[in-house]
Amino acid sequence: PQPVRLSDYRPPDWLVDTVHLDVRLHPTATRILARLALRPNPEGREGSPIVLDGDELSLKSLTLDGTPLAGNAYVATASALTVLAPPQRALTLEIETVVDPSANTKLMGLYRSSGAYCTQCEAEGFRRITYFPDRPDVLAVYTVRIEAEREEAPVLLANGNPVESGPVEGTSRHYAVWHDPWPKPSYLFALVGGRLERIVEEFVTASGRKVELGIYVEPGKAGRAGYAMDALRRSLRWDEEAFGREYDLDVFNIVAVADFNMGAMENKGLNVFNDKYVLASPETATDADYANIEAIIAHEYFHNWTGNRITCRDWFQLCLKEGLTVFRDQEFSSDQRSRAVKRIADVRLLKSHQFPEDAGPLAHPVRPDTYREINNFYTATVYEKGAEVVRMLKTLLGEDGFRSGMDLYFERHDGDAATVEDFLACFAAAAGTDLSQFALWYAQSGTPQLTVSGHWDASARSFRLDVEQTLAPTPGQDEKRPMVIPLALGLVGPDGRDMPLLLDDGTNAGRGVLTITQPRQSFVFRDVEHRPVPSLNRGFSAPVKLVSGLTTEDLVFLARHDADPFNRFDAGQSIALAHLVEATAAHRAGHPLPAPDALVAALGATLGDASLDPAFVAQALSLPSESDVAREIGGDVDPDAIHAARLALRRALGEALAPALEEAYARHALAGPYSPDAASAGRRALRNAGLDLLAATGSAEGVARALAHFERADNMTDRFHALSVLAHNAPLAREAALSAFYERFRDDPLVVDKWLALQAQIAEPGTLERVRALAAHPTFSWGNPNRVRSLIGSFASINQTQFHRADGAGHDFVAEAVLELDGRNPQVAARLLAAFKSWRALEPVRRSSAERALRRVAAREGLSPDVADIVSRSLD
Ligand code: HT7
Ligand code: ZN
């Protein structure tokens, strides 16, 4: 396909005011009758034809104002319907199409999941149901009548409010009519029909309106939807309190389905979810699952305002809804749980997923300016970096300035299809500031590097910070301009307390944040009595790579004393990362590995500080991942050497910290029934981090402790964590534990996913054969995205040593899997292929095998646009 460019945007030529859909559900031949009230757009090109999008559609009938159109008055293909010379006035088109939901393996448009009918229309799925101007700036009011066999689909749902329902007289069928009063783009359309079970709750909004909240799941699973409902209720309340946003329909429904390409979808009033992000019980879901459910329920709900009431003008503006909504869900989770630990987890995710994307061939701006396949731009850059950009805006403008900007955005743009410029203009107006340089965050890809050095002048009692920002070229962007970087900081004195931040021009550094705007800048602080240790980029105030020049002693000091919890955590991680880079080099050179004395000191102090949140301590104990180390090394990466260095470090820490880890393990044991609350989850996380390091020593006690933990566990968090410790550290105990786990949960696909993912991550040469065997196991299906992501996705994205095997077999396997999948589900295939994104950083042997595998994929005839796009950008 030809690239689509932001600069080519033109308003639609025709608008649609109302859509009436009559959908007759049938497993293989669902008939859709669409009545569209169209009118020429005064801002479009005069006299233009009506061009409607389609995808694999066939037209059954077409009328204009009730009269069938002559064969020469229109052209219908699978991908478009063009009415050639329509009267230039308001008119009604009636379009009949028939689709086969059972044959729809792409899971876009109307498809079936476990027998239920459901839809997925973002980004361009509505055109797989009927011909339509399938672009987000065409907003219409929808009324939908759904009809189905009552036996097959007793539940019939669509967007908006229910209007009427009943039997279709004289048949075994029934129908339901839904009306959504809020104009919306076609990507937010949804319908569901099936045999589903429901839980329901009433919610009263701040202004006293009653809303019925419903969650629909497969029969027999309603008992596992309670936590999702609780999260939903808290989300509605939080958006009222934090952003003044109320819900706006009489009902809000969520449907959980087993086959879904992504996490969930925010269709107006009818969210459709991957059931992984709805279903939870103590026996089947981990603490991480509970936290994800809470975050994703909130995220999709928050889209009701940021995405639905205010939508995107075009798909280039995707971050306008996604980055902003991720920011909102992060804030929600921070308010519900520990803010510090949430921030640590979010930054870990950003660094592990977005930083590599920004450093490789798939790098793109938060707002891309060109795409060939929009589905490939639901990325960590658009979502996670997009959220960081919103966070920086808040840091720069302050709490009140940010809230005023958001209020103005809702006031000005409610009902609009908006742009990033519209969004920024609200903050500029509310805060009376110029954000034109800040807007570069949306346009320039790549991670800026901030190099900072500090100079204390004892006689002048001053401290100077020299700051330099650089941004390396990225695909299509050779020249870069300096960014606006909010640098939150503190100067930590020898007593571990923050010193006042007084700049020598007499101003105080506003709220502890320096605003960097130039390639090079210096800041001088006065009245600095002692040599401070600068704590920089506190709270990760900007998504940059910081080169601070701090010594290991400085970092150990910050890990002990920094008042900013994020930087306290980060200091420990920096020590670990520097150690791992050094140890990897030593391993490759055949030299003895360095001793991790500084890290032992830092972590020992953290473990010994009883005032710290156990969840924080657990984060501190969890080392940078193998891919974090690879990113830090940057080039000529040997994953085996990294693995060896990391394993040695885990062993050394397990030995050196054994008494403290054992003490923490004993102290944080929980009595009573499982509860997913953050405090209990934090204690489990700390015990489990200890379990891991103690077992990494390979000692008999360490393995026995993990085995006992596994056998005695009364919840999935403990059971699965112990299983994972055994699988990675105790080859002799592994198989029995894996079998016991499988036998217990074999009928529960979401738990089987954990079992598949764990085995795919074992860093041993036998894993590839194991993964191949599991792909042939009856429990595995290429048709279910969750199964594919668990087995093949985990292997490719987490198992660095086996995916990047020196003999190239891991690369070949993933390339074969991509080709196998592409004919069935191109979106899932393309995401899997993106695991190659850092291939150029590998050492030469592995780099050539990755390139060979990519070239094999590229050479296949008839690739989907999704895979063709990823492979060509990866090889560029
Ligand atoms: N806005 C939703 C994105 C999404 C999606 C995109 C492409 C293909 C399938 C999809 N399912 C959901 C989800 C979100 O980010 O909120
Ligand atoms: Zn979203």
Residue 287 belongs to some domain of the structure: no
Is the C-beta atom of 718 inside 6 A of ligand 1? no
Helices 565-589 and 552-561 pack at an angle, to 10 degrees, of 140
Taking 80 as the threshold, does the pLDDT of residue 509 lie above it? Answer: no
pLDDT tens-place string over residues 191-247: 999 999 999 999 999 999 999 999 999 999 999 999 999 999 999 999 999 999 999
What angle is formed at CA 85 by the lines to CA 32 and CA 44, rounded to 5 degrees? 85
Distance 124 CA to ligand 1 centre (A): 11
- Average pLDDT for 648-669: 98
Q: Which residues are catalytic?
A: 300
Q: How many angstroms separate the CA atoms of 70 and 86, rounded?
A: 12
Integer Cα distance of 277 and 122 in angstroms: 18
Same domain, 638 and 517: no
Among the bound ligands, name the one nearest to the CA of residue 188. Answer: 1
- Residue to mutate, 104, 106, 120, 265, ligand 1, most ligand atoms under 8 Å from C-beta: 265
Domain boundary among 526, 547, 568: 547
End of a domain among 153, 171, 195?
Answer: 195
Domain with residue 330: its CATH number is: 1.10.390.10
Tell me the mean pLDDT in the region 340-367. Answer: 98
**421, 409 contact by CB (below 8 A):** no
pLDDT at residue 18 greater than cutoff 90:
yes
Closest ligand (CA of 866): 1
Domain assignment present for 730: no
Q: Which residues pair with 63 in a beta bridge?
A: 68, 94
Find all residues with CB under 8 Å of 306, minimum gap 6, and list them.
320, 321, 324, 325, 328
Q: How is residue 842 written in tokens?
A: 């590998």
DSSP annotation string for 37-63: EEEE-TTS-TT--EEEE-SS--EEEEE
Question: Residues 275, 281, 285, 287: what is their CA dihedral angle, to the nearest 10 degrees?
Answer: 120
Please give the Cα distance from 131 to 16 (Å, whole number): 12
Residue 770 lies in a domain: yes
| Span 424-482, pLDDT tens digits | 999 999 999 999 999 999 999 999 999 999 999 999 999 999 999 999 999 999 999 99
- pLDDT-derived band of residue 507, with 50, 70 and 90 as boundaries? confident
Shared-domain flag, residues 677 and 773: no
Same domain? 536 vs 609: no
Per-position b or e across 135-154, b if 16+ CB within 10 A of its CB: bbbbbbbbbbbbbbbbebbe
Say how far apart CA 127 and CA 109 lie, in whole Å: 7
Residue 638 tokens read as 């040997």
Residue 828 vs residues 103, 260, 289, 373: alpha-carbon distances, Å: 17, 10, 21, 13
Q: What is the mean pLDDT of residues 49-77?
A: 98
Token pair belonging to 47: 């006299």
> Do 625 and 637 belong to one domain?
yes
235 occurs within a structural domain: no
Q: Residue 431 and residue 424: Cα distance in Å, rounded?
A: 11
Minimum CA distance residue for ligand 1 atom 10? 262
- In terms of domains, do 443 and 583 share one? no
Which residues, other chains included, contact 684 with Cβ-Cβ below 8 Å and sequence gap of 6+? 287, 668, 670, 717, 718, 721
Domain boundary among 521, 547, 573: 547
Mean pLDDT of 341-359: 98
- Amino acid 427: pLDDT: 98
Distance CA 526, CA 515 (A): 18
**793 located within any domain:** yes
Q: Is 187 in the pocket of ligand 1 (CB under 6 A)?
A: no
Q: How far is the CA of 622 from the centre of ligand 2 (A)?
A: 28
CA gyration radius, the chain: 28
- 375 C-beta closer than 6 A to ligand 1: yes
Q: Are 334 and 343 in contact (CB under 8 A)?
A: yes
Distance of CA 351 to the CA centre of its chain: 13
How does the average pLDDT of the chain come out, rounded?
Answer: 98
Dihedral sign, CA of 715, 716, 722, 726? positive
Mean pLDDT of the 383-396 span: 98
Query: How many other CB atoms are found less than 10 A from the CB of residue 87?
Result: 10
Does residue 185 form part of some domain?
yes
137-154: average pLDDT: 99
Within 8 A by CB and 6+ apart from 732, the residues are none
Same domain membership, residue 553 and residue 683? yes
Neighbours of 414 (CB within 10 A): 12
Q: 528 and 556 share a domain?
A: no
How many residues in total does the chain contain? 876
Q: Under a CB-based contact definition with an 8 Å cutoff, are residues 713 and 740 in contact?
A: no
- Return d(Cα 350, Cα 572) in angstroms, integer: 18
Quick check: 581 and 626 in contact, CB under 8 A? no
pLDDT attached to residue 505:
83
Atom nearest to 261 CA in ligand 1: 9
Q: Cα(420)–Cα(324) distance, rounded to whole angstroms?
A: 11
Confidence of residue 506 (pLDDT cuts 50, 70, 90): confident
| Confidence at residue 510, expressed as pLDDT on a 0 to 100 scale | 65
Question: HSE on the CB side for 241, CA within 13 Å?
Answer: 10
Tokens standing for residue 341: 């630990």
The partner residues of 242 in beta bridges, in order of sequence, read none
Ligand 1 contact, 106 CB (< 6 A): no
- Paired strand residues for 120: 109
DSSP 616-671: HHHHHHSPPPHHHHHHHH-SSB-HHHHHHHHHHHHHHHHHHTHHHHHHHHHHT---
Q: Please give the share of the chain, as a percent, with pLDDT higher than 90.
A: 99
Determine whether 219 is exposed, middle or buried from the number of CB atoms within 10 Å of its CB (0-12, 13-18, 19+). Answer: exposed
Q: Which of 523, 512, 468 is nearest to 486 (CA)?
A: 512
* DSSP secondary structure code for residue 793 in this structure: I
Instruction: Say what the alpha-carbon torsion angle 571, 577, 578, 581 is, to the nearest 10 degrees.
Output: 180
pLDDT digit string (tens) for 294-338?
999 999 999 999 999 999 999 999 999 999 999 999 999 999 999
C-alpha–C-alpha distance, residues 867 and 159, integer Å: 32
**What mean pLDDT comes out for the span 634-658?**
98
Strand pairing category for 14-24 and 140-149: parallel
Which CATH number fits the domain that encloses residue 18?
A: 2.60.40.1730
Distance CA 184, CA 391 (A): 28
State how far the alpha carbon of 803 is from the alpha carbons of 639, 640, 760, 766, 791, in Å.
10, 11, 10, 12, 12
Q: Which of 107, 113, 122 to mutate to test the pocket of ligand 1 (most atoms within 8 A of CB)?
A: 122
For residues 471 and 338, state if they share a domain. Answer: yes
Q: What band does 185 get if pLDDT is binned at 50, 70 and 90?
A: very high
Establish if 219 belongs to a structural domain: no
pTM as predicted: 0.99
Nearest atom (ligand 1) to Cα of 107? 9
Residue 511's pLDDT band, with cuts at 50, 70 and 90, is confident
Give the model's pLDDT for residue 672.
Answer: 95
What is the C-alpha to C-alpha distance for residues 815 and 11, in angstroms, rounded to an integer?
Answer: 40
pLDDT in tens, 25-62: 999 999 999 999 999 999 999 999 999 999 999 999 99
Q: 564 and 482, same structural domain?
A: no
Handedness of CA 582, 583, 587, 588 (dihedral sign): negative
Sheet with 485-492: list strands edge to edge.
513-516, 485-492, 533-536
Shortest-distance ligand to the CA of residue 374? 1
Q: Structural domain of residue 181, as residue ranges? A: 1-195
Three-class secondary structure of residue 29 per DSSP: coil
Co-location of 81 and 49 in the same domain: yes
* Terminal Cα distance for the chain, rounded: 17
Q: Is the CB of 417 under 6 A from ligand 1?
A: no
pLDDT digits (tens, 9 = 90+) for 719-773: 999 999 999 999 999 999 999 999 999 999 999 999 999 999 999 999 999 999 9
Same domain, 368 and 455: yes
3-state secondary structure of 20: strand
State whether 595 and 643 are in the same domain: yes
Which numbered ligand comes closest to the C-alpha of 324?
Answer: 2
Instruction: Find out whether the beta carbon of 120 lies less than 6 Å from any atom of ligand 1.
Output: yes
Dump strand ranges (E) for 782-869: none
For 649, half-sphere exposure in the C-beta direction (CA atoms, 13 angstrom radius) is 33
User: What confidence tens digit (pLDDT) does each residue in 841-874 have?
Assistant: 999 999 999 999 999 999 999 999 999 999 999 9
Q: Confidence class of residue 504 from pLDDT cuts 50, 70 and 90?
A: confident
Residue 306 Cβ inside 6 Å of ligand 1? The answer reads no
- What is the structure's pLDDT at 652? 98
Q: For residue 724, how far is its CA from the centre of ligand 1 (angstroms)?
A: 30
The pLDDT of residue 689 is 98
Q: Which residues, in sequence order, are CB contacts of 710 under 8 Å at separation 6+?
A: 718, 719, 722, 723, 726, 737
Tally of domains in the chain: 4
Q: What is the pLDDT of residues 532-561, one digit of tens each?
A: 999 999 999 999 999 999 999 999 999 999
Residue 148 contacts residue 195 (beta carbons within 8 Å): no
**Is residue 93 a part of any domain in this protein?**
yes
pLDDT above 80 (res 508)? no
**Rounded distance from Cα 298 to ligand 2 centre (Å):** 10
CB of 373 sitting under 6 A from ligand 1:
no
The per-residue pLDDT for 123 is: 98
Element (H, E) at 423: helix 420-431
CATH assignment at residue 637:
1.25.50.10
